[in-house]
Structure 1
Amino acid sequence: MSDPELPSAPAPEQKPRSKSLLRSSLLTGSMTMLSRVLGLVRDIVLASLLGAGGSMDAFAVAQKIPNFFRRLFAEGAFSQAFIPVLAEYREKGSRAAVKDLVDKVAGSLGLVLLLVTLVGVLGAAGVSMIFASGYLSDPAKFDLLTDLVRITFPYLMLISLTGFAGAILNSYDRFAVPAVTPVFLNIFMIAAALLVADYFPNPAYALAWSILVAGVFSLLFQLPFLRQIHLLPSPKLGWSDPGVKRILALMAPALFGVSISQINLMLDTIIATQLGDASASWLFYSDRLVELPLGVFGVAIATVIMPSLSRQSTAQSAEKFSQTLDWAIRFVVLIALPATLALVILAEPILFTLFYHGKMAASDILMSSYSLQAYALGLFAFMLIKVLVPGYFARQDMKTPVRTGIKAIVANILMKPVVVLPLAYFFSLGHVGLALTTALAAYVNAWLLYRGLRQQRIYQPASHWPRLWLRYGAANLAMVVVLLGFLMCWADWQYWHTLERIWRLAVVCVVGGVIYLAALLAVGIRLRDFKAHG
């Protein structure tokens, strides 16, 4: 095959330079942190504007539907199937072959997304019935949900194509651009809530349209950066192309393997529509706070290690492959354990500080705090899944995560009647049972994934893990003592003014964080321990 010349620039097929995984993760995490902070601002505005129940229930379900398919299809199954194949083309093929693969994937993916979007828009009522059958008894809420689904569903196509562009950029170690792109969704939603919501019969319509506009802008934003690396797609169909076939074959099982947590969370939303008014809203606010550390650190680490693992697998470097996984797991333990404990202990203060405004009632804050604590218990497992699944997908093993994921879903379904029904019947806390079973199912999934990597000798933990657990445990214990001490002294969060809640929560978080870091240093944990190269 001929290898035509391209304009002078870094050649797409060149081997990526060795980069510090820590530096890349911090870069990606910082960009994601910006997006998540704006996301918190957005959620604060939503709580003030819509409160809980009614329109907020409908909007919470409507925006989750395209996001569910996006994470299942684009960010999940597609990116995990596409990156290993693209890495192999880069290692073994010409730049023309890489460009041809990108063009054919763009055309094939675009056609599928267009068809799915048309089905979703035309069948919005059916989609609403599937995901929120509990709202059928409230025609006004169901009609609002159907309208919102019809408006927001095209976001699936737009953000999935954005995810495709981001997967290419991540493969070429351009992590910052895909990481910062979600900022635009939050900016557009905040602007819609503050500037144009009054011009709509229901503020939820303004928010729905802002999601669609943000999808268009996010896709357009990434295109110039693809042009810089000479991989701006010229879409064409390529169903018979060997590379496209391999990606499709890898995607089919990956639809389950990478998105088990999302499937379980969507099950929570579906069942929550049966539990009465505001249950979906309470879960929405809880989930958003758990998503903050998960998105900033868990997704960032997984995003960074996936190209490295793919390259190491292609180069048959088993030792480096295991070391990369070990580094990622150590980073997860460093972040997830204190985040889990802090969210459980500070659930009520955090929610009162962020969301106790406008139409949000104190009872809604309390109900949301219970489900936040339940979800937070699963944060460590959620993050661990994010870094374990790439250990399989980088080796193009899609079947094992599917098997473990199905077992986790079954465990979740079996636990729900045992946990949810008693909580719903005796305490009106069915939504807490939904969150708790989802957290427990995440641990089932994480354990099965970890055990599989160990049994296949793909991952060999470093010898220092027993000492690390003792050190991390001591540092977390020190932080917990400080946080509990603050709560004993400051217990009246509901009755303080907003500014007073803000400064008190800031003090608690800063002091707790400083104590944790100081304890880490005291037990011998150093930043250099997390330096690794991909």
Structure 2
Amino acid sequence: MNLLSAAAKVSSLTMLSRITGLLRETLIARSFGASEWTDAFNVAFRLPNLLRRLFAEGAFSQAFVPILGEISTNEDQNKAKVLINAVATLLFWALLLTVLLGVIGAPLLILVIATGFSGGPAYEASVVMTRIMFPYIGLISMVSLSAGILNTYHRFAIPAFTPVLLNLALIGSAIFLAPHLEQPIYALSIGVFLGGVLQLIIQVPALSRLGLLPRIGLLPRAIKAAINNPDARRVMKLMGPAVFAVSVAQISLIINTNIASRLQAGSVSWLSYADRLMEFPTALLGVALGTVLLPSLSKANAKNDLVHAGELLIWGLQLTFLLAAPSAIALFVFGEPLAAVLYHYGKFNALDVLMTQRALAAYGVGLIGLILVKILAPGFYSRQDIRTPVKIGLFVLVATQLANLIFVPWLGHAGLALSVGTGACLNAALLWVGLHKRGALPSAAWAKYLGQLFLALIPFAGVLFYAANAHNWIALQAKPWTRIGLLALWLTVAALIYFSALALVGIRWQKFLRHAK
């Protein structure tokens, strides 16, 4: 299997997901703006969305895929089927209980997530929408199990396409359902639930073709057998720490939502709109590469081929720097044009653009760290090492909240984004050092490589800085197609200059093709 080809396929489908996601956010921004009602939806969606991100970005797979890969590599398929059925059974019953508790305890959850919403219509709306959307947690968790199975057997397309269905469900609900409801914002929560149903249904044919469709045990005997399955116990033992270790940034977002709910009205929404743009490169690069690397790393470690595992990590890290660095610069210096083109319509005004741009610049500082974590974490979990990432995650979570004490009084809502980004950079640095000390990350000529990248990034950054200041992107609201055309033109020019500069400084794509095996 060619890893670069597989990553390109996953990235292309993820691109489709992000494009539909941006269309979704643009439609929501145009229809609802940034108000107490959008804040209410974003608060209610924060916990289901956290689970969506964790599972979509491989947190469950970090625990499940290494063990399933080990069994499928070294043992027979029947044992793999037994593991799949056992994990599906345990997950189903745990999720059923979680969803019931979440629906019943929605008022308390909202008070915890957004204490600034105590009482009032925004609080009541958040409670209602939380109850509608909480079952999505169960649906997306089962989708994650299915994706882990398919990814282990190198069937990457369906899991990568799945998020598109959530976006389409939300777009359809906003267009066709919202006008018919007394409170239109409720249509978005209904769209989330319907999207989860569609995401689960699409997994069934692909799993059936592999003969690996999970069978959920409903009788006490089957549940007991699942609990006693030693391989399922290994997965469950790894799953909690794996979820926590790769979700530090997302847990920080939950805490930050609480803080943002106490700031200026619209702060939660500004962060949400910026977060959607930040997700674009994170998913295209970090998630795509992490998805295709984990099965190969797991199988290499199962065979005790540590040299190949190390080569895979170096390949992924170098490719990440190559593509993540320009993305970070774009968020930092080109945030206003991006926010204006995507969101500056209808009720989304010039102030909203400015505030979203500030959050984007803050996210840009830590974007490389956010993406690197997606590459480095599989290096530990493919080796079934759960302790190191958990220790690092706990330390980083505390450090991130301490950073809020410095950044929020100074930068407001943008300070919350900056604390997440700097925390992710710290997380990535500690994971990197940990892998290197364990001999899992061999030495490479990083000084030369990063120096070459720096030289190539100078003209790229210069072009985007000029473009951001050469036009009045806010005033161009009256000419939306002109504004879209200018954005596309400048991004294309900047990309061409960057890749030309890469060739001039001696970085060749053939290097990544040669090592992508």
Q: 1:252 to 1:233 in 2, by over 3 A?
A: same
Is 1:334 paired with 2:322?
yes
Deviation at 1:467, TM superposition (A): 2.2
CA shift for structure 1 position 533? 4.2
Partner of 1:364: 352
Look up the match of 1:513: 495
Give the alignment of 1:317-396 within 5 angstroms.
317-396=305-384
For 1:366, the aligned partner's letter is L
Q: Equivalent residue for 1:15?
A: none
CA distance in 1, matches of 2:254, 2:5: 33
Q: What is the match of residue 48 of structure 1?
A: 30
- Aligned counterpart in structure 1 of residue 426 of structure 2, from 419, 429, 444: 444
1:65 aligned residue (27, 43, 47): 47
Q: Are 2:172 and 1:191 equivalent residues in the alignment?
A: yes
CA distance in 2, matches of 1:488, 1:54: 32
What pairs up with 1:90-109 in 2 under 5 angstroms? 90-109=72-91
After superposition, give the CA deviation of every residue in 1:195-226 in whole Å (9 maximum; x if it has no partner). Answer: 22101112211111011011011101011100
Whether the 8 Å CA contact 2:249–2:424 is kept in 1: the answer is yes
Deviation of 1:75 (Å): 5.3
Provide structure 2 residue ranges, at least 5 long, that are not aligned to the other structure: 218-222
Q: Offset of 1:461 from its aligned partner?
A: 2.9
Name which of 471, 477, 481 aligns with 2:452: 471
State how far apart, in whole Å, the 2-side matches of 1:50 and 1:94 are.
54
Unaligned runs of 5+ in 1: 1-18, 424-428
User: Which residue of the other structure, out of 237, 251, 272, is the alignment partner of 1:284?
Assistant: 272
TM-score (norm 1): 0.93
| Residue 530 of structure 1: aligned partner | 512
Q: Does the Cα contact within 8 Å between 2:336 and 2:468 map onto a contact in 1?
A: no
Query: C-alpha offsets along residues 368-411 of structure 1, whole Å, 9 cap, x if unaligned?
Result: 11011101111100000000000000000011001111111111
Looking at structure 1, the residues matched to 131 and 451 of structure 2 have their Cα atoms a distance apart, in angstroms, of 52
Once the 2 structures are TM-superposed, how far is the Cα of residue 466 of structure 1 from its aligned partner?
Answer: 2.3
2:388 matches 1:406 = no
Change (3 A) 1:495 1:170: same
2:164 matches 1:176: no
Checking the alignment, whether the CA contact within 8 Å between 1:75 and 1:160 is kept in structure 2 is no
Report how many aligned residue pairs link the two structures.
Answer: 508
Bigger mean CA deviation after superposition, 382-391 or 229-238: 229-238
Q: How does 1:22-171 map to 2 (within 5 A)?
A: 22-72=4-54, 76-137=58-119, 139-171=120-152
CA-based RMSD of the aligned residues comes to 1.3
Instruction: Give the residue type in structure 1 aligned to 2:94.
Output: V
1:157-199 CA-partner distances (Å, limit 9, x unpaired):
0011011101100000001110001111111111111122101
Match of 1:11 in 2: none
Is contact 1:76–1:259 with CA below 8 Å preserved after alignment? no
- Structure 1 distance, partners of 2:139, 2:282, is 23
The amino acid of 2:247's aligned partner reads S
1:299 to 279, 282, 287: 287
Identity of aligned residues (%): 38
More helix by share: 2
**Contact preservation (8 Å) 1:58, 1:144:** yes
Q: Is the 8 A contact 1:197 1:206 kept in 2?
A: yes
The Cα shift of 1:268 comes to 1.4
Q: Work out which of the residue numbers 178, 188, 210 in structure 2 matches 1:207.
A: 188
Whether the 8 Å contact between 2:476 and 2:482 is mirrored in structure 1 is: no
Structure 1 residue 354: Cα displacement:
0.9
Q: Does 1:316 align with 2:298?
A: no
Distance 1:493 1:276 in 2: 22
Q: 1:492 to 1:179 in 2, by over 3 A?
A: closer
* Structure 2 residue aligned with 1:16: none
Given candidates 406, 417, 434, the residue that maps to 1:435 is: 417
TM-score, length basis structure 2:
0.96
